[in-house]
Amino acid sequence: MPMQITKAVFPVAGMGTRFLPATKANPKEMLPVVDKPLIQYAVDEAISAGITQLIFVTSSSKRAIEDHFDKNYEMESELERRGKQDLLDILKGILPEGVSCVYVRQPVALGLGHAVLCARPVVGNEPFAVILADDLINGNSKPCLGQMMDVYKELHASVLGIERIDPGMTQRYGIIKTDGGNNRVFNVNGIIEKPHPDVAPSDLAVVGRYLLRPEIFGFLEKTERGAGGEIQLTDAIAMLLKEQAVVAYEFDGKRFDCGDKLGYLKATVEYALNHAELGDAFREYLKSKIGDLGNAE
């Protein structure tokens, strides 16, 4: 099995109904956090971890994602004519040299597991990453996927990105069962999709980052519809566990659930505060509003 994972799957076919009407004509993955769309943050994280092939599992309403990562010769020529080299560099940096994109249609919305299975013809018999753009993760030591890559290179096992959650929120996540671990790495003995808090095996939730061995595809083919009437990636991982080791990694960083309006707003504020150009001015603006908030009825 290759030591270096070079392919990443981005399931982006969802309708984004929680952000209507903003997502009526614009994919939720194209919603900006300050000056970059969510999908760009996810792609940047993948590229920083050594990914060279980006596989987008899309639907008919996601053409804006394809356009974003395509060349725009007219805009580039105009920026060059105006001498806007800084903006031209930003535009050309959206997709660096040596990185390619493949787009695969998910014909029916049957969940995350089905979306990953749609990528099988492109992934082939190689380990691969899965990144959910809704989960924007600001890694502390290094980007989250890069941290997980280090674990994969050492153990050669599938790796699930996890974080500790409020035990009352287990019905929103896949929750792992473990007998413990060390250095943020946990042995996975079981995994349950969206369990009730009363029966959840832990408070360790799988959140938007996976490194998977190709054997997962065989189990996805066998997976029947589960929670929500969808083919759940979690259910396929539970079957994979019976044949090979799977580990979970508690990443070093902060996650923002940008599939949720409040989480999206929190991400926008924190990324704005850390923005090289806007951070100081935005911080002063927030300070000026604190008094107004305190006086609000």
Q: What is the pLDDT of residues 19-50, one digit of tens each?
A: 889 888 889 999 999 999 999 999 999 999 99
My answer on whether omega of the bond before 21 falls inside 30° of 0, hence cis, is yes
| Domain 7-259 in CATH 1.10.1040.10 | no
Positive/negative CA dihedral, 62, 65, 71, 75: positive
Q: Where are the alpha helices (DSSP H) in 84-131?
A: 85-92, 112-118, 120-123
Phi, psi of 73 (to 5 degrees): -65, -35
For the chain, the straight-line distance linking the first and the last C-alpha, in angstroms and rounded, comes to 61
pLDDT > 60? residue 220:
yes
In the prediction, which pLDDT does 295 show?
57
Q: Look at residues 99, 90, 39 and name the one whose alpha carbon lies nearest to residue 67.
A: 39
pLDDT digits 0-9 by tens, 226-273: 667 788 899 999 999 999 999 999 999 999 999 999 999 999 999 999
In the prediction, which pLDDT does 288 show?
87
Tokens 């100081």 sit on residue: 280
pLDDT > 80? residue 2:
no
pTM value > 0.85: yes
| Rg over CA atoms, the chain | 20
- Three-class SS state of 222: helix
Report the C-alpha gap between 219 and 288 in whole angstroms: 55
In the prediction, which pLDDT does 1 show?
59
pLDDT digits 0-9 by tens, 125-165: 999 999 999 999 998 889 999 999 999 999 999 999 999 99
Quickly state the pLDDT bin for 225 (edges 50, 70, 90).
confident
pLDDT digits 0-9 by tens, 68-113: 998 888 898 999 889 989 888 888 889 898 999 999 999 888 889 9
